[in-house]
Amino acid sequence: MDRDGICLFLRYNFPLWPTIPEIQMMPRLTALAAAMLLAGSVHAADRIKVGLVSTLSGPGAGLGVDIRDGFQLGIKHLNGKLGSLPAEVLVADDQQSPDIAKQVADKFLKKDKVDFMTGIVFSNIMLAVGPAVFQNQTFYISANAGPSQYAGEQCNPFFFNVAWQNDNLHEAVGKVVQDKGYKNVVIVTPNYPGGKDAVSGFRRYYKGQVSEEIYTKLGQLDYAAELAQIRSLKPDALFFFLPGGMGINFVKQFVSAGLSRDTQLFAPGFSADEDVIKAVGGSMLGMFNSSHWAHDMDNPENKRFVADFQKEYGRLPSLYASQGYDAALMMDAAVRDVKGNVEDKKALQKALEAKRFKSVRGDFKFNTNHYPVQNYVLRAIGKDAGGRITNRTMGIIFANHADAYAGQCKMK
């Protein structure tokens, strides 16, 4: 039982007990009520409101913070405007809880009447929040979570993913592990929708033996039991998908258990990006990972993004930051296309599908299910010219790669 569990326990016993989100909302709700009394609930159409719900605290905070910072940098590069209308970005922390995410999303949709939503990191939270957003006919531009559900049968005209479908980066790693000739692989992933997508993606392209699929609790931080199991299985390669703090702890414990001598680590870019490298350090040298973006990609948009991100925040951007940045550019191009008339949903959908912005990852286009068709690259962790440990792009794994679910999508 966590904090919310205790709250639910109290609420069960004392019906008037407020839940944590309610407690946290109290001051804001009071202020909001006062503001509405003063101003009435008139919604000005002279600006574009974006509701950004993301994971900004707890072990997954690194991901959400990078998405937020990338998005804000995008808005800054656009001079604080989206499609020549002033942009207003409302930010809320979902604390990696689907319940809290639903409550803040509801507030953004009903009270603030946002024009776009974005920011959610985890697929289980995306699946919980999605229905309310779609019912409200608000466009959701996912800067991370790309569940297979929304790519296939449950695809929705109001859902766009500007990053990837969950399986994609794992498919790319599967291809690399297969091509390098590894024969005995163990998979470690959290037990949640994104984890299931990871396993099916990896196994779609790796055809060798998988001696074990280990599912851990989402947010687990101690991997002693799993590492002992891995040691007894003696795999020659280990594929793990553990975003954020989970991956940081896993790699640290993997190395301190002496397992790195016999087993080669492979991961999607999520588990080997700047946030993890910064925390783990030298133990990650030589690790291969896949991504659709890398900070050393050679195009003018990316160079400007990477340089300004470092100037603004004092650290290298991660792939999450690049996704947040692209989400801002995507909204901007679409709003400009419809000349600020965001109430014309059909036209706005067409404009979003047309993808008239220059992404920092280079060129890509949207598939019929509103997920990208794009290149995936192999990165290896090494030292750059300045001796800093970071990712270097090694080559292309897939060119113009689409996800496996688009065929099941009948977009309205």
Partner 1 sequence: MLQLILEQTLNGLQFGLMLFLLAAGLTLVFGIMDCINLAHGSLYMVGAYFVAAATQAADSFWIGLGVGVAGAAVLGLVLELTLFRRLYQRDHLSQVLATFALILIANEAVRAIWGPAALLLNPPEALAGPVEIGGFFYPAYRLLIIAVGMAVALLLYLLVARSRVGMWVRAGAANREITESLGINVRALFTAVFVFGAALCALAGGLLGPLLAVQVGMGESVLILAFVVIIIGGIGSIRGALVGSLIVGTVDTLGRALLPTLLRALLPADAASTLGPALASILIYLLMAAILFFKPQGLFPARA
Quick one: 302 exposed, middle or buried, by C-beta within 10 A (0-12, 13-18, 19+)? Answer: buried
Under rule CB under 8 A, residue 8 binds partner 1: no
Tell me, by CB under 8 A, how many residues bind partner 1.
40
For partner 1, give the closer residue by CB, 20 or 155. Answer: 20
Under rule CB under 8 A, residue 248 binds partner 1: yes
Residues 109 and 51 sit within 8 Å (Cβ to Cβ):
yes
Q: Could you tell me where the beta strands, DSSP code E, fall in 207-357?
A: 209-216, 237-240, 264-268, 288-291
Under rule CB under 8 A, residue 209 binds partner 1: no
Q: Backbone dihedral region of 137: left (phi > 0), alpha (psi from -120 to 50 degrees) or beta?
A: left
For 281, list phi and psi in degrees, rounded to 5: 80, -145
Q: Which of 8, 10, 373, 389 binds partner 1 (CB under 8 A)?
A: 10
Under rule CB under 8 A, residue 214 binds partner 1: yes
Under rule CB under 8 A, residue 399 binds partner 1: no
Under rule CB under 8 A, residue 119 binds partner 1: no
Q: Which of 30, 57, 137, 341 binds partner 1 (CB under 8 A)?
A: 57
- Binders of partner 1 in range 20-39 (CB under 8 A): 23
Residues 216 and 189 sit within 8 Å (Cβ to Cβ):
yes
Under rule CB under 8 A, residue 215 binds partner 1: yes
Under rule CB under 8 A, residue 348 binds partner 1: no
Under rule CB under 8 A, residue 396 binds partner 1: no
C-alpha 67/C-alpha 292 separation (Å) is 15
Binding mask 216-245 for partner 1 (x = CB under 8 A): xx---xx-xxx-xx-xx------------x
Residue in the structure block whose two tokens are 């399986």: 167
Under rule CB under 8 A, residue 285 binds partner 1: no
Under rule CB under 8 A, residue 258 binds partner 1: yes
- H or E segment to which residue 292 belongs: none
Under rule CB under 8 A, residue 256 binds partner 1: yes
Maximal CA-CA distance, the chain: 68
Q: Is the dihedral of CA 328, 330, 331, 336 positive or negative?
A: positive
Counts for the chain of helices (H) and strands (E), in that order? 14, 14
Cα dihedral 394→376→336→344 (10° resolution): -170
Under rule CB under 8 A, residue 148 binds partner 1: no
CB of 228 to partner 1, least distance (A): 4
Under rule CB under 8 A, residue 19 binds partner 1: no
Q: Could you tell me where the beta strands, DSSP code E, fall in 23-109?
A: 48-54, 81-82, 85-93
Q: Which of 88, 212, 337, 353 binds partner 1 (CB under 8 A)?
A: 212
Which positions lie near partner 1, rule CB under 8 A? 1-3, 5-6, 10, 23, 56-59, 61-62, 65, 93, 191, 212-217, 221-222, 224-226, 228-229, 231-232, 245, 248-249, 253, 256-259, 279
